[in-house]
Amino acid sequence: MIIGLGNPGTVYKNSRHNLGFKTVDLLCAKLGLHLSDQRFQTLSTSTNYHNKKILLACPQTFMNRSGIAVKHLFEYYRPDNRNIMVIHDDIDLDAGRIKIACGGGAGGHHGVESVAYHLGTNEFCRTKIGIGRPRYNEAIEDFVLDPFYDDQQATITEALHIAVKAIESFVLYGVDAAMNTFNSLTTGKKLRKKEVKR
């Protein structure tokens, strides 16, 4: 179950908060899919990917109420928690940085908080896409709903493609393999290993 978090509507389409939606849309485009199923307060679709059944979904309940839709999906499809991947923006990561995690706190992200609350657990997987911190003292509430700075656009575009590859790795090989591969990557003209501090 691949869940992209974001806010519905054209006004939010290019906001920092909508990277989850953008990742799911990009994966759908790659697989030739459309989010045509409107049940459960989401836009979703399902397919077989290398003999594995996957569901791609974008809740339409707005970010802070994402968990309502995710709970409906969970109750219908009943996946194992470690087969749920929630994709979202992360203000504590540099813009373009990708981090895969399973469990852990929400880090103040209200969409993740809502999912954890309605599922009754935080033991699900997450693909975090960094958006960085405000440069110009913008309020966080405004910053996440604004588009990226012009000089970040190329980095974020690359990050979204990396996120898609991370989701594919998660589906094919599991969350541990995805973490091992993609938590050490950063963006640039070529994907390069980020030095691991010990």
Residue ranges of the domains in the chain? Answer: 2-193
How many separate helices (H) and strands (E) can be counted in the chain? 6, 8
Query: Over the chain, what is the mean pLDDT?
Result: 93
| Confidence grade of residue 192 (pLDDT, cut at 50, 70, 90) | very low
Position 186 scores a pLDDT of 59
Distance, in Å, from the CA atom of 167 to the CA atom of 100, rounded to the nearest integer, reads 9
Position 23 scores a pLDDT of 98
Distance, in Å, from the CA atom of 131 to the CA atom of 59, rounded to the nearest integer, reads 21
Position 198 scores a pLDDT of 31
Could you read off the pLDDT of 27-73 as tens digits, one per residue?
A: 999 999 999 999 999 999 999 999 999 999 999 999 999 999 999 99
Q: Is the pLDDT of residue 150 over 70?
A: yes
Task: Assign a CATH topology to domain 2-193.
Answer: Rossmann fold (3.40.50)
Over residues 85-94, mean pLDDT: 97
Structure-token pair, residue 144: 């996440």
DSSP 37: B
Percent of the chain with pLDDT over 70: 93
| Confidence grade of residue 187 (pLDDT, cut at 50, 70, 90) | low
Three-state DSSP state, 98? strand
Position 184 scores a pLDDT of 78
Structure-token pair, residue 24: 């799911």
Structure-token pair, residue 102: 């399973």
pTM to 2 decimals? 0.92
Over residues 148-156, mean pLDDT: 97
| Confidence grade of residue 189 (pLDDT, cut at 50, 70, 90) | very low
Query: Do 106 and 88 meet the contact criterion of CB atoms below 8 Å apart?
Result: no
Annotated catalytic residue, options 17, 72, 88, 109: 17
Q: Is 17 one of the catalytic residues? A: yes
